[in-house]
Structure 1
Amino acid sequence: MTAEDAVDLLARLNSHGVDVCVGCGWGVDALLQEQTREHSDLDLWAPAAQFERLVVALTEAGIDQLFPWPGDRHWNFVVHDGARWRVDLHMYEPLPDGSLHFGSVVDGVVFPAEALAGHGLIAGRPVRCEAAEWSVRWHTGYPPRDTDRHDVPLLCERFGIELPEAFTQREQGPRVG
């Protein structure tokens, strides 16, 4: 997905009153205020209460196909248009204390609203994105992928965040002998 595709889609969502926050790869690049790698999708956090408006805006853009991945749930799933646009949706609910809930009632995650209060730029246009500290945190807890090994050190260096241990360990090849 190009930067122009991303900002066009964000503008469409905004025109429908959908309050999204950019996450993952484009969120990292927004924080860094430059595109540092190619992106296959646009990860978006959105309030579950705005789901209907979100679906209308995505459908008008031609993004109307569910793209199932193992582990998808009704609060986190991928939609696409069959060609250039793929969107990974992360639906959350605000709680009475101001924090946000993501996931099921049984094993969901609660985090502060500040986690989605970052600000950055995509193609020179202001966007709301994950806060740097939270973006780093959400890239841990699983074996780092190549994109994580690219994104996390850039965020840590730019924002003075300690590099997580999983990113300081050298990958070991097969043992010989």
Structure 2
Amino acid sequence: MNADEVLAIYNDLAAENVPVWIDGGWCVDALLGKQTREHADLDIAVAREHAERLRELFARWGYQPQPRQDATDWNYVVATGSGSTVDVHVFEFDDEGNNTYGIEYPKDSLTGTGVIAGRKVRCIAAEWMFRFKTAYTPQDKDLEDVRALGERYGFKVPATHRRPAPRL
């Protein structure tokens, strides 16, 4: 998934009045203001009130649901035959801002903005993206994401997410 594909999806959804927030690796890059690595997919968050319209649009654009054992109505993957893949995270808040459905995003987490290829986008807030990235056992890409967010925003990187010093 490249930046042009990400922005095409983001812009096309905006044109259809389906607001989304960039999550995952592309969120990290948006918060850093530059692409730092290759991305296999795009993660997006969408409010439940827009979820059905999102499904309809993805189907119209050639995205098909991908079979996964852990797929739910609030977390699923769609992909095109050419390999463009989107991981969809659906959420809902009540009038007081409490999460009542789907992915348990804290309301404050959906306040971030970042930049992808010069375009300002809504994304997960930096503090929350850092929290999310440090909440599980990291892969190599996560170590680099956490390091970069820590440097950029002054977050203290936990020992579990630091690369070991090279042996001499």
TM over 0.5: yes
Task: Determine if the alignment matches structure 1 residue 109 to structure 2 residue 104.
Answer: yes
Q: Does the residue aligned with 2:115 lie in a helix, a strand or coil? A: strand
Task: Determine if the alignment matches structure 1 residue 83 to structure 2 residue 82.
Answer: yes
Equivalent position of 1:150 in the other structure: 144
* C-alpha displacement of 1:110: 5.7
Equivalent position of 2:41 in the other structure: 41
* C-alpha displacement of 1:82: 2.0
Query: Structure 2: how far apart are the matches of 1:81 and 1:114?
Result: 32
Q: In the TM superposition, what whole-angstrom CA distance separates every residue of 1:120-144 from its partner, at most 9, and x where no partner exists? A: 1111011001111110111123210
Which 5+ residue runs of structure 1 have no aligned equivalent?
172-177
Equivalent position of 1:100 in the other structure: 99
Equivalent position of 2:70 in the other structure: 71
Q: In the TM superposition, what whole-angstrom CA distance separates every residue of 1:7-55 from its partner, at most 9, and x where no partner exists? A: 0011111111111000010000000010000111100000011112111
Query: Structure 2: how far apart are the matches of 1:29 and 1:109?
Result: 22
Query: Structure 1: how far apart are the matches of 2:144 and 2:101?
Result: 26
Task: Determine if the alignment matches structure 1 residue 140 to structure 2 residue 143.
Answer: no
Equivalent position of 1:174 in the other structure: none
Equivalent position of 1:30 in the other structure: 30
Q: In the TM superposition, what whole-angstrom CA distance separates every residue of 1:92-119 from its partner, at most 9, and x where no partner exists? A: 001221243453xxxx7362x2201110
Equivalent position of 2:162 in the other structure: 168
Residue identity (%)? 39
Change (3 A) 1:110 1:4: closer
Q: Does the residue aligned with 1:141 lie in a helix, a strand or coil? A: coil
Report if the CA contact (8 A) 1:76-1:90 is conserved. yes
Change (3 A) 1:70 1:162: farther
Q: Does the residue aligned with 1:158 lie in a helix, a strand or coil? A: helix
Which 5+ residue runs of structure 2 have no aligned equivalent?
none
When structure 1 is superposed on structure 2, of 85-94 and 53-62 the one drifting more is 53-62
Q: TM-score, normalised by structure 1?
A: 0.86
Change (3 A) 1:21 1:110: closer
Q: Does the residue aligned with 1:109 lie in a helix, a strand or coil? A: coil
What is the Cα-based RMSD across aligned positions, in Å? 1.8
Query: Structure 2: how far apart are the matches of 1:145 and 1:71?
Result: 20
Q: TM-score, normalised by structure 2?
A: 0.90
Query: Structure 1: how far apart are the matches of 2:145 and 2:23?
Result: 12
Change (3 A) 1:110 1:155: closer
Query: Structure 2: how far apart are the matches of 1:69 and 1:56?
Result: 20
Report if the CA contact (8 A) 1:101-1:110 is conserved. no
Instruction: Give the length in aligned residue pairs.
Output: 165
Query: Structure 1: how far apart are the matches of 2:3 and 2:68?
Result: 24
